[in-house]
Structure 1
Amino acid sequence: MTAFRIAHHAASPAPTPKAKAVKSKGYLAFLHELPCAVSGVYGVEAAHLSMAAPKYGHWGRGKGSKAPDRWALPLSPAEHARQHNIGEEAFWRAAGINPHVLALTIFGLWSDMGDDAQPFAAAIVNQHLAASNRLRERDSL
């Protein structure tokens, strides 16, 4: 019987890619139609994730650059400012949201369905809000 050895580097993620961040005005416009991922209010900004998560294919961002638009999430101006004030990791942990999974989910819906994905993406955001008891009442939307 022959034994096989798995190379150590096979389990480690590849080094940070050098490709330029992909930008999509269409996707960012789509995000602006969604509720805030943390508060549920409308009138959002596209907040790009900077923190790396190689297991999701996000290696962070280079100095002086933004992450690709696939890593943007809808945040109200107030929540976006709070995210910058307390730090990304603490902000998302306090919200009880895995931002990488949410970003990939919303981007995947848009990639598959274009602007027709808006009600589905809004429903995903609302499911996250409901799970953390932050879903807004219909009258307050």
Structure 2
Amino acid sequence: MSSRIAPLPSPIMKGQRKRPRKCNKDNLVAIRELPCILTGVWPVEAAHLRSGCLGLGKRDTGMQEKPDDAYVVPLSPAKHREQHSMNEIEFWKAHGFEWRDIVAIAQALYQHRNDLEARHVIIQEARRWQSD
């Protein structure tokens, strides 16, 4: 007698809709007021973080699915294109950041989206970590 273990259901099974993303246009505007987290220059684009970090409550974003607007950091247009041209986690590692740290930075920026001074301090501290 053979037994077979049924496969676990996919989070997005055929015929099901993807989880609606949480939009926050105010956060995107707030991010664009900051300098690039890598270069310190303006202008910037709101770069969404796609990969998951379960320890911080960020789920992995599926194909053709944009992450929630709470998971963004400011990147110059050139760095934003570079981020999308390669493995995202490797991109951040190549620029001196562990994945968990960049997700935590995005969460802190979102938490302080109404406090420009606090967001500038977060970016300054992040750039200092990058250079260490």
The alpha carbon displacement at 1:63 in A equals 2.4
CA distance in 2, matches of 1:119, 1:99: 19
CA distance in 2, matches of 1:88, 1:38: 14
Query: Secondary structure in 2 aligned to 1:104?
Result: helix
Cα contact 1:16–1:59 (8 A) shared by 2: no
The alpha carbon displacement at 1:132 in A equals 2.8
CA distance in 1, matches of 2:60, 2:74: 18
Aligned twin of 1:68: 68
Query: Secondary structure in 1 aligned to 2:112?
Result: helix
Aligned twin of 2:53: 53
CA distance in 2, matches of 1:66, 1:132: 26
Amino acid at match of 2:47: A
Q: CA RMSD in A?
A: 1.9
Aligned twin of 1:36: 36
- Bigger mean CA deviation after superposition, 82-91 or 25-34: 82-91
Q: How many equivalent residue pairs? A: 115
CA distance in 1, matches of 2:93, 2:57: 20
> What runs of 5+ residues in structure 2 fail to find an aligned partner?
1-9, 13-17
1:61-119 Cα deviation digits (max 9, x unpaired)? 13211000011111000111111123211111122222111101111112xxx2xx112
Identity of aligned residues (%): 30
The alpha carbon displacement at 1:16 in A equals 5.5
After TM superposition, the runs of 4+ consecutive aligned structure 1 residues lying more than 4 A away are: 15-18
